[in-house]
Each structure stands twice: as structure tokens, then as C-alpha cells.
């Protein structure tokens, strides 16, 4: 389970106009998340939506310790993230928007191997994980290919394989559909459904709710850094108009 309690995050917005950071004239510290308490049980498929700037990326970056809370706590499977960053990063797989910016190697297999290698696994164990992760995203046998020659959808699947190779209990994807065409989007979504069926918790951050609510157990919508909607998708969609998210057709 991933759990936040009273999570508040403020970004440093630089000095305000008179340099004293205390009068709220646009500078100082701006709360991107305010008192967010959320429990994501094991095995859940959660869709996290919200308008641009509502705090989605900020929230998920707390799940593996990329950000540190200003107030409140974040735990992964019972352990505070800040107490054991390695554990959090092993248990929470993260796939970012624009995977092209996140690849660390030229070929598919080398990139997917990077995480497991850093866990200190031996070569055979790394190879086994790479093979399984590529198979899970239907890229088996393509480990030798250059990433820059792949389509956007294939690159996204390689990014997901890179996260899967860490064998995470929880998989978090921040806007994975950005820049994908319709077939690629459908393929990535189908793979996420498969992973979810096999027991991985999935947190899918997206502002585009087409087709993602059918497999979801739950829809959470952020507005101005707070949880504005939280419930089973069929009920939660009723409240979407008020929080700046388009209802799917
Ligand atoms: P979303 O992912 O929902 O679009 P973000 O979590 O990226 O929202 O941003 C939430 C708020 O925090 C926005 O107001 C955004 O401008 C601000 N913000 C995000 N990243 C930074 C940063 N690195 N420095 C300052 N402000 C930021
Ligand atoms: Mg974002």
C-alpha cells in the first residue's frame, strides 16, 4: 500500500517582489499539494486526473522520494519513504512523461538492464529480468534494437519494461500517453490492464480519461493541490465538470 497523510508540498517560487518572501505577492512558497491524505491499496488500478498544474506530478514524485514532504508523511508498504529510499524505489516503479528524455542506453536491452544492474544482481539474473520485462510489453527478441529507431509507442513500452525489470509492487505512470498515436495508446493501455490482472498496483496519471475508466477501480481527481473527487469511476465521473477535467464520451 502507498499511503500519504496530510501531505503538503511547497515549491520555492523565488523571492517575491519586495524580496522578503512573506507577503504573498506572488513569490515565496506556493503550496502545490495541500493536506493530501490518500491510501492506495495493493492491487488497485487508480486513475489520477486533474487539470494542468493541479499537483498530479508533484504527488506521484513523493511515492518514490523524488520529493520530500514539507508536512505530512508518505509510506510505501508501511515504511516512510524518507527512511529507506532504496526500498521505496525498488517497490515503486516510475514511468515519466517523455520517456525519450529518460533513456540511459542506446539499445533496448541495455536500457532495461540498467535498473536491475544497479540492484547488484548477477548477469544471469539481470538477463532473466530483461527478458521477462520485454516479453511483458511484447518486445521480446528486440533487445538489440536501437531505441532511437523505435516508434513512440514502442519507446513508451521500453520505458515501462525498464520499470517492470525492477519487479515493482506498484507501477506509477505519469502521462504515459503524451505524444502517442491511437494504436500505441491502446497497446500501452492493454499492457497496463494485463499487469494489473497479474497483481501489480497501477497508478495512471492522465488528463485524458478515454478508455481508462473501464479497467480502473478508482478515480481520484486533484484540483489546486487537493483531492477534489475520489471514488469508483462510475460515480466519480459525475463530479468532473466542476474540477476542470473533461468527461470521457
Ligand atoms: P500537474 O502534474 O497536475 O500538471 P504539477 O504537480 O506539475 O501539476 O504542478 C503543481 C503546481 O506546482 C503548479 O502550480 C506548478 O506550476 C507548480 N510546480 C511544479 N513544479 C514546480 C517546480 N519545479 N518549481 C516551482 N513550481 C512548480
Ligand atoms: Mg504533470
Q: How confident is the model at residue 244 (pLDDT cuts 50, 70, 90)?
A: confident
Q: Whose CA is nearest to atom 27 of ligand 1?
A: 11
Nearest Cα residue to 93 out of 16, 161, 157, 25 = 161
Q: Are 150 and 123 in contact (CB under 8 A)?
A: no
CA-174 nearest atom, ligand 1: 2
Answer yes or no: is pLDDT of 72 > 60: yes
Q: Read off the pLDDT of each residue in 217-240 and give the average, rounded to a whole number.
A: 94
Nearest Cα residue to 156 out of 84, 82, 206 = 206
Answer yes or no: is pLDDT of 208 > 50: yes
17 lines ligand 1 (CB under 6 A): no
Question: What distance in angstroms lies between residue 56's CA and the mean position of ligand 2's atoms?
Answer: 5
CA distances from 37 to 59, 132, 222, 228 (A): 11, 35, 12, 12
Of 39 and 23, which is predicted with more confidence?
Answer: 39
- Give, for 57, the enclosing helix (H) or strand (E): helix 56-63
Q: Give the residues across from 31 on adjacent strands.
A: 10
For residue range 137-195, list pLDDT tens digits in order: 889 999 999 999 999 889 989 999 999 899 899 999 999 888 778 887 888 898 899 88
CATH class of 2-13+28-243: alpha beta
Question: What distance in angstroms lies between residue 84's CA and the mean position of ligand 1's atoms?
Answer: 25
Question: What distance in angstroms lies between residue 149's CA and the mean position of ligand 2's atoms?
Answer: 27
Answer yes or no: is pLDDT of 131 > 70: yes
Answer yes or no: is pLDDT of 79 > 90: yes
Nearest Cα residue to 218 out of 243, 244, 236 = 236
For residue range 18-35, list pLDDT tens digits in order: 555 454 444 557 799 999
Q: What ranges do the domains of the chain cover?
A: 2-13+28-243
- pLDDT above 90 coverage of the chain, percent: 68
Q: What is the mean pLDDT of the chain?
A: 90
Of 35 and 135, which is predicted with more confidence?
Answer: 35
54 lines ligand 1 (CB under 6 A): yes
pTM of the model: 0.89
Amino acid at each position: 500500500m502507498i499511503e500519504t497523510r496530510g501531505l503538503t508540498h511547497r515549491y520555492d517560487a523565488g523571492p517575491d517582489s519586495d524580496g522578503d518572501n512573506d507577503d504573498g505577492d506572488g513569490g515565496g512558497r506556493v503550496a502545490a499539494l495541500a493536506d493530501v491524505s490518500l491510501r492506495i491499496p495493493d492491487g488497485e488500478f487508480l486513475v489520477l486526473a486533474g487539470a494542468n498544474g493541479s499537483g498530479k506530478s508533484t504527488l506521484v514524485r513523493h511515492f518514490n522520494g523524488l520529493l520530500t514532504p514539507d508536512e505530512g508523511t508518505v509510506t510505501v508498504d508501511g515504511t516512510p519513504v524518507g527512511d529507506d529510499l532504496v526500498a521505496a524505489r525498488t517497490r515503486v516503479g516510475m514511468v515519466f512523461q517523455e520517456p525519450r528524455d529518460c533513456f540511459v542506453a542506446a539499445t533496448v536491452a541495455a536500457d532495461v538492464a540498467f535498473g536491475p544492474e544497479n540492484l547488484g544482481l548477477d548477469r544471469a539474473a539481470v538477463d532473466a529480468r530483461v527478458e521477462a520485462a520485454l516479453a511483458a510489453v511484447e518486445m521480446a527478441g528486440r533487445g538489440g534494437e536501437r531505441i532511437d529507431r523505435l516508434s513512440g509507442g514502442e519507446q513508451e513500452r521500453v520505458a515501462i519494461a525498464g520499470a517492470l525489470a525492477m519487479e515493482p509492487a506498484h507501477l506509477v505512470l505519469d502521462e504515459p500517453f503524451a505524444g502517442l498515436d491511437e494504436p500505441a495508446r491502446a497497446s500501452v493501455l492493454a499492457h497496463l490492464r494485463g499487469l494489473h490482472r497479474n497483481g501489480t498496483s497501477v497508478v495512471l496519471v492522465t488528463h485524458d480519461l478515454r478508455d481508462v475508466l473501464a479497467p480502473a477501480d478508482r478515480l481520484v481527481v486533484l484540483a489546486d493541490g487537493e483531492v477534489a473527487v475520489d471514488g469508483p469511476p462510475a460515480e466519480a465521473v459525475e463530479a468532473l465538470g466542476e474540477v476542470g477535467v473533461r468527461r470521457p464520451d
